[in-house]
Chain A
């Protein structure tokens, strides 16, 4: 049976030649604004789209783009089907053991969001682990916090708010939908994601209750990932990013997409 399958596979298989030398970049068309979105015409927009076009223009060999679901990015990287990937990857110590990260192109803040009607006043306390001021459970323990599953914010809730009920959502959009529905009372979300919602009609009843102080649990920025030990690719990507940092073009893109300033 196996042999039949195998020969069927061989009879049908086609080669995908990749241009010699070009770096293969894995990207996902799953929208996550302001980072990426693909419109109905197949146009890529957002910070990561603009950034990647600029980075690839600076890499001498150029890039070959490969689209896949977010869940396929990491295995494709590991199994050498692509050379580097982008997809709003937050840098954490745990993840650093598996892949190498480029210099971060953006460092996200975290917002604690609730209803305007809710007069909760989140408090800050000194963390037991000595990492500075963190959100206190006091005053919010009877509510439910929504986070995106396995995001740095989810790690934060697990570490500092273990007694508060938390709901994990597979996408940030779903957590917002449940905030509107009233199934969660608060959200702990990246600021650049939630700003768009708060400015929209649906977000009129909600506000940022607190900008959460930076903390190692909240990650070390958002970056490209390359295969562990692939120094050559990492150098090329970092060099391109460094050039863009030096000439201010990176900041310009962040201003445009995140802060809405042209």
Chain B
């Protein structure tokens, strides 16, 4: 087995394909993750809110989206929901007759929608872990709500949310593979499969894929532990 040849840059080897795959995986994951954090905060706020409709909506979102297979959610969002919206937009003349959503962005949003449901649970648990007395104290001294959230709730809640959030980050880098269904985006896992199947060097290319994912994790875990240390200042 000539591994150097298999990994050559350019048209003869898969080196450049893997480099592109790595970048694409990071890109899909980062954008989806940021969207998911926003969705998670909104969802957690909804779940803990005094408004019954908000609670009910957030509860429905986490229960339904978390339980359905990701493949189904992504196919439904892309092929049914987004096609429906396209038709609607075309009908009202807001866009041209050939308008179509960019499948890449549709894929990223769909992935964020799924991850956001899990993020909601992480955020909810973290919010609940902030001692109630502190919030009461902040209210008692007349701190405005926004300031209270920024200065009291958020810093403490993030400390509790970090392990769950880091799990979700690591899992989204791997789950991003599912978007290939919508348009053969050559992210890392799909590239690994295609290289393996084209050359029949399955074990070699899957080991390489695993190694690259490990590299992503290594950097992530290092960054997370720095963050964790910073956020737990003053705690033991």
Question: Within 8 Å by CB, do A and B touch in the complex?
Answer: yes
Which residues on A are within 8 Å of B, measured CB to CB? 1, 5-6, 8-9, 12-18, 28-32, 37-43, 66-69, 71-72, 75-76, 78-81, 171, 173, 177
* A173: contacting residue among B113, B194, B202, CB under 8 A: B202
Main SS class of interface, A: loop
Which chain B residues border A17 with CB–CB below 8 Å? 98
Interface set, chain B 100-131, CB cutoff 8 A to A: 100-103, 105-106, 109, 113
- The contact string, 1 if C-beta is below 8 Å from chain A, for chain B 144-185, is 000000000000000000000000000000000000111110
The reply to whether B102 and A12 form a contact with Cβ atoms under 8 Å apart is yes
A45 to chain B, nearest CB (A): 10
The interface centre, meaning the residue of B35, B85, B180, B195 with most chain A CB atoms within 10 A of its CB, is B180
- Asked if A68 and B13 make an inter-chain contact with CB atoms under 8 angstroms apart, the answer reads no
* Inter-subunit contact B100/A173 (CB<8 Å): no
Given contacts A40-B11, A72-B182, contact A15 B99 (CB under 8 A): yes
Contact bitstring B175-201, A, C-beta under 8 A = 1, else 0: 000001111101000100111011010
A12 surroundings in chain B (CB, below 8 A)? 102, 105
Binding site for A on B (CB under 8 A): 8, 10-14, 17, 35, 39, 42, 57, 71, 75, 79-80, 82-83, 85, 95-96, 98-103, 105-106, 109, 113, 180-184, 186, 190, 193-195, 197-198, 200, 202
Other-chain contact of B200, A40, A76, A80, A173 (Cβ < 8 Å): A173
Query: From residue B202, how far is it (CB to closest CB) to chain A in Å?
Result: 7
In the complex, what's the smallest C-beta–C-beta distance from A98 to chain B, in angstroms?
A: 15
Shortest Cβ distance from residue B8 to the other chain A in the assembled complex, whole angstroms:
8
CB-defined contacts of B183 to chain A, threshold 8 Å: 66-68, 72
Task: Determine if B12 and A1 form an interchain contact, defined as CB atoms under 8 angstroms apart.
Answer: no
B176 CB to closest chain A CB, in angstroms? 13
| B17: chain A residues within 8 A (beta carbon) | 40
Given contacts A31-B194, A41-B10, contact A9 B180 (CB under 8 A): no
Q: Which residues of A contact B186 (CB under 8 A)?
A: 29
Besides A40-B8, A41-B11, A69-B190, 13 other A-B contacts (C-beta < 8 A): A8-B35, A8-B109, A9-B101, A14-B102, A29-B186, A29-B194, A30-B193, A39-B11, A67-B184, A69-B180, A72-B180, A78-B79, A177-B202
Cβ-closest chain B residue relative to A20: B98
Q: When the two chains form their complex, are residues A16 and B181 in contact, meaning their CB atoms are under 8 A apart?
A: no
Closest Cβ of chain A to B193, distance in Å, is: 7
* B interface majority secondary structure: helix
Do the beta carbons of B12 and A41 come within 8 Å of each other?
yes
CB-based nearest A residue for B177: A69
Distance (Å) between the CB of B120 and the closest chain A CB? 11
In Å, the complex CA distance between A3 and B180 comes to 26
Query: CB-nearest residue of chain A relative to B193?
Result: A30
Which 3 A-B pairs have CB atoms at the shortest separation, nearest pair first? A41-B11, A67-B184, A31-B197
CB of A19, distance to nearest CB on chain B (Å) = 10
Complex contacts, A16 vs chain B, CB 8 Å? 98, 100, 102-103
Distance between B111 CB and nearest chain A CB, rounded to angstroms:
13
A139 to B82, CA, bound (A): 54
Contact A9 B98 (CB under 8 A): no
17 A-B pairs in the complex with CB atoms less than 8 angstroms apart: A12-B105, A15-B100, A17-B98, A28-B184, A30-B194, A32-B197, A40-B8, A40-B10, A40-B11, A66-B183, A69-B181, A69-B184, A71-B71, A80-B83, A171-B197, A173-B197, A173-B202
B182 contacts across to A, CB distance below 8 A: 68-69, 72
Flag if B13 contacts A40 (CB, 8 Å).
Answer: yes
B96 and A15 contact, CB distance less than 8 A: yes
Assembly CA distance A177 to B103 (angstroms): 34
A18 in contact with B109 (CB, 8 Å): no
B212 to chain A, nearest CB (A): 16
A239 to chain B, nearest CB (A): 26
Q: Looking at the assembled complex, report how far the CB atom of A81 sits from the nearest CB atom of chain B, in whole angstroms.
A: 7
A41 to chain B, nearest CB (A): 3
Q: Which residue among B79, B80, B113 has the maximum number of chain A CB atoms within 10 Å of its CB?
A: B79
Q: For A71, give its contact among B106, B181, B198 (CB under 8 Å).
A: B181
Q: What's the Cα separation between A42 and B57 when bound, in Å?
A: 46
Once bound together, how far apart are the Cα atoms of A122 and B186, in whole Å? 43
How far, in angstroms, from A68 to B11 measured CA to CA in the complex? 21
**For residue A9, which residue of chain B has the nearest CB?**
B109
